[in-house]
């Protein structure tokens, strides 16, 4: 049975004022449960926002308040057979490397998937994975890059990987991934205690951190340590 991994991103790799970049969402074998739940909560939120039920509107995390976002999140976190997932990237401690944002995104998705396999989650007992990703930040040229990259990486596992780029306006599952990614961004970049209190099960999210050894380390302390090590090496070399 196919496993679906639905992802969105929050933050931006190029913005220096934001320390953490997020790719997050959920995985499941029963996608219909997520879309049905989203439809039900959407009706509640529309009523609270005085939006006609039949009016088509995308309730993105940036357009709803924390109370409304928490309704979607608590619904998602309580669906049997749905596993929230995320990779949090500490941009302050990334080594400088020549890579496009698209290449970096592919690399982080690969690392997230490798982390999830190490967690031995039942949902990943499959030979077919379909990634469902929001297409708003994807160029036409890059559409097949992630699929090809992941197929190469996991070829030895006989894992068939497909990637679908979808318009979030028409896909409730991608909208649900947006709420998870935005929550993780708010928590990591702003320590949003109010959201933590309203989504008590957020800590069930399987979260990979990158780079693992330096994640969350004060970059100034890291630099000071490097300078001190250089001084020690110099003293040893001169004796």
Q: What is the pTM of this model?
A: 0.88
pLDDT, one tens digit per residue, over 166-198 is 999 999 999 999 999 999 999 998 867 788 889
Spatial contact of 43 and 50, defined as CB atoms under 8 Å apart: no
CATH of the domain at 113: 3.30.420.10
Looking at residue 88, what is its pLDDT? 96
pLDDT band for 219, please (50, 70, 90 cuts): confident
Our count of domains for the chain comes to 1
Tell me the average pLDDT across 214-231.
63
Q: Is the pLDDT of residue 230 over 50?
A: no
Looking at residue 157, what is its pLDDT? 81
Looking at residue 142, what is its pLDDT? 60
Looking at per-residue pLDDT, the higher value among 13 and 133 belongs to 133
Looking at residue 216, what is its pLDDT? 86
Query: 226 is in which domain, residue-wise?
Result: 3-238
Q: Is the pLDDT of residue 229 over 50?
A: no
Tell me the average pLDDT across 99-103.
80
Looking at residue 174, what is its pLDDT? 97
Looking at per-residue pLDDT, the higher value among 148 and 31 belongs to 31
Tell me the average pLDDT across 196-220.
90
Mean pLDDT of the chain: 87
């Amino acid at each position: 049975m196919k496993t679906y991994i639905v992802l969105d991103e929050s933050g931006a790799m190029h913005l220096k004022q934001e320390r953490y970049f997020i790719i997050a969402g959920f995985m499941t074998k029963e996608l219909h449960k997520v879309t049905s739940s989203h439809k039900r909560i959407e009706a509640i939120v529309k009523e609270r926002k005085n939006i006609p039920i039949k009016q088509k509107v995308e309730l993105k995390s940036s357009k709803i308040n924390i109370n409304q976002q928490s309704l979607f999140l608590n619904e998602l976190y309580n669906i049997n057979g749905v596993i929230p997932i995320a990779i949090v990237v500490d941009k302050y401690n990334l080594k400088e490397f020549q890579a496009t944002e698209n290449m970096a995104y592919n690399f982080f998705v690969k690392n997230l998937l490798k982390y999830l396999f190490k967690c031995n989650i039942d949902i990943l007992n499959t030979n077919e994975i379909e990634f469902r990703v929001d297409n708003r930040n994807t160029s036409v040229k890059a559409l097949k890059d992630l699929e090809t990259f992941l197929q190469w990486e996991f070829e030895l596992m006989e894992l068939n990987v497909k990637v679908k780029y979808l318009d979030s306006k028409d896909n409730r599952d991608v909208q649900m991934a947006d709420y998870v990614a935005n929550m993780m961004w708010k928590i990591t970049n702003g320590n949003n205690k109010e959201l933590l209190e309203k989504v008590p099960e957020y800590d069930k999210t399987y979260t990979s951190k990158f780079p693992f050894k330096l994640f969350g380390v004060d970059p100034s302390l890291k630099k000071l340590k490097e300078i001190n090590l250089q001084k020690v090496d110099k003293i040893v070399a001169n004796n």
